[in-house]
Amino acid sequence: MTTQEIKDWTIEDIEVMTEETAKEMAIESMVIKEHNVYFVDFGGYFGYSALVFKNKHHIRYADDYELHHKGKTPEELREWYIEALNNKLYTESELLEPIKSYDESELKSYYLRNYYGMQETYVSIWFVGTNEERERIKKKTENMIYNPVAFAYYDKSKEDFVNHHIELYNQFEKIQEQRTYDPKYMESAFYSEMSNHEYYINWQGDWDVCSCFVKCEYGSDKTYRDYLREGGFSEEIITAFETARRKYIKACNEFDVL
């Protein structure tokens, strides 16, 4: 498969590309966080792009394309891709390092749930198609191993990989849980989720934000204090929520969000 054989590249063409083909077409390649990255110019719609591979598998969700960054030169795109990939790809040792910020925690969690599992062949549980196709997939996965982190099925020969992925995620979760006792960390975490859920204008904002951190049942007469107490958070962490809330509302008023 070459640029001569396919004049107008589609996302399907690119996402099924093998590492061998990416290597042949690459203008340049490099290793970022133990992932092989190939810079390929597809021309047309997708343009100068970055493709990511690990363990000879295409980590296609981590790819990036010129179409998302119109107006940038190839040099600017190259710098952009390198910086972006350094911020969303991780080595296993990095995943188990102490978490410095809530944003870092979210990026690591996203990598583990969405990218890590792609380094082996899998069948996703997420499906859109006909009932006939659904039945074929159901039959295909009957004797496969389910990976609850990747939400996907793997061949039985990949049992060690699946178990390692689950254990890696569990270790990460323990590190993440330790930070929930840190008021400053939780203040930034609450603030971040307030922004994500438009807390200022969200009539169920307390529940939306708190449910990101604790299992709690929604109640129209409940406040953030009720939800956080249900989750076992201390008064110190509840105070951190209040601090984040004041800062967020002040910021919204300054920018006149309404």
- Domain limits of the chain? 11-88, 92-179, 183-255
Q: Is the pLDDT of residue 88 over 70?
A: yes
pLDDT at 3: 47
Q: Is the pLDDT of residue 131 over 90?
A: no
pLDDT at 123: 95
pLDDT at 42: 94
Separation of CA 256 from chain center: 31
Tokens of 175: 């590190």
Listing from the earlier edge strand, what are the strands of the sheet with 145-147? Answer: 123-124, 152-154, 145-147
How many Å apart are CA 157 and CA 31, to the nearest integer? 28
Q: Predicted confidence band at 4 (pLDDT cuts at 50, 70, 90)?
A: very low
Q: Is the pLDDT of residue 20 over 60?
A: yes
Q: Is the pLDDT of residue 1 over 80?
A: no
Q: Predicted confidence band at 256 (pLDDT cuts at 50, 70, 90)?
A: low
Q: Predicted confidence band at 245 (pLDDT cuts at 50, 70, 90)?
A: very high
Name the residue among 77, 76, 97 with its Cα closest to residue 33: 97
Over pLDDT 70: what percentage of the chain? Answer: 96
pLDDT at 2: 47
- Rounded mean pLDDT of 112-130? 93
How many Å apart are CA 127 and CA 56, to the nearest integer? 25
How many Å apart are CA 37 and CA 29, to the nearest integer? 6
Over pLDDT 90: what percentage of the chain? Answer: 88
pLDDT at 5: 52
User: Helix, strand or coil for residue 227?
Assistant: helix
- Rounded mean pLDDT of 193-198? 96
What is the average pLDDT score of the chain? 93
Question: DSSP string of 163-216?
Answer: HHHHHHHHHHHHHHHHHTT-HHHHHHHHHHHHHHTTGGG-TTHHHHHHTTTS--
Q: Is the pLDDT of residue 29 over 70?
A: yes
pLDDT at 128: 81
Q: Is the pLDDT of residue 40 over 80?
A: yes
Kindly report the pTM of this predicted structure.
0.87
Q: Is the pLDDT of residue 152 over 90?
A: yes
Name the residue among 173, 177, 118 with its Cα closest to residue 151: 118
Q: Is the pLDDT of residue 62 over 50?
A: yes
pLDDT at 133: 87
Looking at residue 255, its amino acid is: F
